[in-house]
Amino acid sequence: SQQGEEDPQALSIQEGENATMNCSYKTSINNLQWYRQNSGRGLVHLILIRSNEREKHSGRLRVTLDTSKKSSSLLITASRAADTASYFCATSQSTGANSKLTFGKGITLSVRP
Amino acid sequence: GAVVSQHPSRVICKSGTSVKIECRSLDFQATTMFWYRQFPKKSLMLMATSNEGSKATYEQGVEKDKFLINHASLTLSTLTVTSAHPEDSSFYICSARDWRTNYGYTFGSGTRLTVV
């Protein structure tokens, strides 16, 4: 079953606007991560938030985590055309060497110049 | 930062042949690597966890004899798709954990496999 479920599944915004993407999950987690994927390419790690954290910032990225609601959001401020990509949330239930990531279905973000 | 190199980026093969995909950690040692499969406009599906020096752990529903994984060194894991069929056509991605980067996973650039 899908652990992470992002919404919306597709988002189209104008350059300069903020983009907010949400992710919900079902089981308890150790951490939640957001990744970006350009078409036909591998994934790039954006940001990680631990289960005991509520908010984290990295440049134009802001991620929140609400473990009571089992949800997270990724905010990209002042979006640029280069932000156009697919974004995935992924959860991990442990920190051990073999801990697996479970990915959501992804959100396709289009930023219009 | 951590770099994972995956080759080839694209491969076309005939039905019935086997294809090997390599995943290398370039500047760190990876005792564990992960292999994913991704269908168009879909999420990543974990196929197996590759452990250096031991057998891979396959996810439910993934045929171990079909998708052979070898992790012979701390920097190299290979996925061999044996007796490939058109339904094996997909995007395959590997990833590895670099313990220096505080839980983050580094992904290869993926391999687009087309079986004709």
d(CA A13, CA A16): 9
Residue B74 touches partner A, C-beta closer than 8 Å: no
Q: Which of residues 85-114 of B touch A (CB under 8 A)?
A: 91, 93, 95, 97, 101-110, 112
Task: Provide the sign of the torsion angle of the four alpha carbons B4, B44, B17, B71, taken in this order.
Answer: positive
Residue B8 touches partner A, C-beta closer than 8 Å: no
Decide if B92 contacts B8 (C-beta within 8 A): no
- For tokens 């802001």, name the residue: A62
pLDDT of residue A46: 94
pLDDT digits (tens, 9 = 90+) for A27-72: 999 999 999 999 888 899 999 999 999 999 999 999 999 999 999 9
In this predicted structure, the answer to whether residue A97 has a pLDDT above a threshold of 80 is: no
pLDDT band at A1 (very low <50, low <70, confident <90, very high): very low
pLDDT band at B5 (very low <50, low <70, confident <90, very high): very high
A100:B51 CB<8 A: no
A41:B109 CB<8 A: yes
pLDDT of residue B102: 60
d(CA A44, CA A88): 10
Using a CB-CB cut-off of 8 Å, the residues of chain B touching A101 are 34, 46, 95, 105
pLDDT digits (tens, 9 = 90+) for B35-71: 999 988 788 999 999 988 888 999 999 999 999 999 9
Mean pLDDT of all residues belonging to chain B? 91
